[in-house]
Amino acid sequence: MRVQRRRIAGAWAFALWAAAAGPALAEEKKPAEAPKLTAGSEGFVLQSANGDYKLQLRGYVHFDGRFFPSDEGRLAVDNFLLRRVRPILAGTVGRHFEFQIMPDFGMGTTVVQDAWLDVNYSPKARVRVGKFKSPVGLERLQSATALAFVERAYPTAIVPNRDVGVMLHGDLGGGVLAYAAGLFDGAPDGGSVDLDLADGKDVAGRVFLSPFKRGSSTLKDLGFGIAGTTGKQTGALPAYRSGGQVSLLTLVQGITADGTRNRLSPQLSFYSGRLGLMAEYAWSESWVQRASTGTRARFSGEAWQATATFTLTGEKASYSALRPAAAFEPGLGKWGALELAARVNGLEVGTEAFREGIVDPAKSVRRAFAWAVGLNWSLSRNVKQVLDFERTTFTGGATDDADRPAENAFFIRTQVSF
């Protein structure tokens, strides 16, 4: 009898244990959710079921044509070229860590444009390390796939392009205030760096305010801000170029940067309905040294631009890429989105560069002024056709203190992006 009671007690204990452990055992046996693979206009994405790990393949290609009618100075060459060929590998490794790697095979060279890791714990404070765009120029920070014209305006020649460093950035107030501040190797005006050969570093920062962003008024997409850099640098000096990518400056041999360099760039953008506006100013001043004599002098440059866009097919204008309401499908009467663009911009080199013999006056312009008009046809989110005309006039830049002949340039671009 005692043995039977023990058996009954053991059976009840096993039943209670099985009831408690059953769900856990079932959960262990349940197969893990499979990763998700998607493809669309934003690229190809492979991600884990919970989204903590993600790999995205994107990219874009710019096939350009440049043509210069009545090129009296014969400084430019009519040509077709692959301006940009950029595959992009981006993703997330763990919930709070994002990365991007973007090489560029355009123009017959291979360059790593972006290679960075972003620690994204909160949108209010993120940390980015690696090589990426310095947080200064308004149009420079705009994606190359969203540009209103084939080539960026003159202020982009004054501010740095990509730099290597560390940056704290974020959005406050739900995007009302965007800020960025970082320490970088120090890229020259309009240029990029991969390797720093000097101890000097640049501090760069930007504050951009969109006071009506959280409302629903016409001014919702009005934003304005200021950016700049400061630091001590030695080595390369800027190589300013026209819209047709013709050199505007020829430095005297033996001139290099040597001392403090400061930049400042106030900027504004406004988008409302079909209308888009962008304006910015950029100023740069640095100390240079002549190797033959050791004498030092100031070198400065300033530039400005104002750009307006208007969509003819009703789509909303945007700082990011224009999104057609209907992709190109002529059989159904759908033609994509059409956008008109107009721009004025200018560049001026400081008089010290000519007075101190920093540049060759017979090959360097003092001022450049350009106006441009363009038509952008977005056949879909992934295909875009651009046609521009730009006329640039110059002050100086020829022998006997004469003016360089005007540059008239037609640009075409076929863009594929995903």
Confidence band of 30 (pLDDT split at 50, 70, 90) = low
Q: Are 268 and 223 in contact (CB under 8 A)?
A: yes
Mean pLDDT for the chain overall: 92
Q: How far apart are CA 186 and CA 179, in angstroms?
A: 19
Q: Are residues 22 and 98 in the same domain?
A: no
Give the domain CATH number at 398: 2.40.160.10
Residue 170, both tokens? 């974020």
Q: Are residues 16 and 79 in the same domain?
A: no
Residue 194, both tokens? 């991969």
Q: Are residues 341 and 282 in the same domain?
A: yes
Number of separate domains in the chain: 2
Q: What percent of the chain has pLDDT over 90?
A: 81
Q: Are residues 22 and 47 in the same domain?
A: no
Q: How far apart are CA 393 and CA 72, in angstroms?
A: 13
Q: Are residues 2 and 123 in the same domain?
A: no
Q: Are residues 20 and 74 in the same domain?
A: no
Q: Are residues 8 and 65 in the same domain?
A: no
Confidence band of 28 (pLDDT split at 50, 70, 90) = low
The pTM of this model reads 0.89
Handedness of CA 318, 117, 179, 177 (dihedral sign): positive
Q: Which amino acid is at 270?
A: F
Element of type H or E holding 341? strand 337-349
Q: Are residues 23 and 35 in the same domain?
A: no
Residue 173, strand partner residues: none
State the alpha helices, DSSP H only, in 93-245: 138-141, 155-158
DSSP letter string, 302-329 = EEEEEEEEEETTSPPP-SS----SS--B
Q: Which amino acid is at 397?
A: G
Q: What is the pLDDT of residues 308-351, one digit of tens each?
A: 999 999 999 999 989 999 999 999 999 999 999 999 999 999 99
Q: Are residues 15 and 112 in the same domain?
A: no
Report the chain's terminal Cα–Cα distance, integer Å.
79
Q: How far apart are CA 41 and CA 384, in angstroms?
A: 13
- Distances from the Cα of 133 to the Cα of 8, 108, 204, angstroms: 74, 22, 11
Q: Show the domain range for 151.
A: 31-417
DSSP state, residue 135: S
pLDDT score for 265 = 98
3-state secondary structure of 145: helix
Q: Are residues 170 and 182 in the same domain?
A: yes
Between 128-142, 166-180, 288-302, 382-396, the lowest mean confidence (pLDDT) is in 288-302
Q: How far apart are CA 409 and CA 388, in angstroms?
A: 8
Q: What is the pLDDT of residues 356-385, one digit of tens each?
A: 899 999 999 999 999 999 999 999 999 999
Q: How far apart are CA 187 and CA 181, in angstroms?
A: 15
Q: Are residues 17 and 92 in the same domain?
A: no
Between 19-28, 179-188, 399-408, the lowest mean confidence (pLDDT) is in 19-28
**CA-based nearest residue to 71, from 406, 411, 398:** 406
Q: Are residues 21 and 98 in the same domain?
A: no
3-state secondary structure of 373: strand
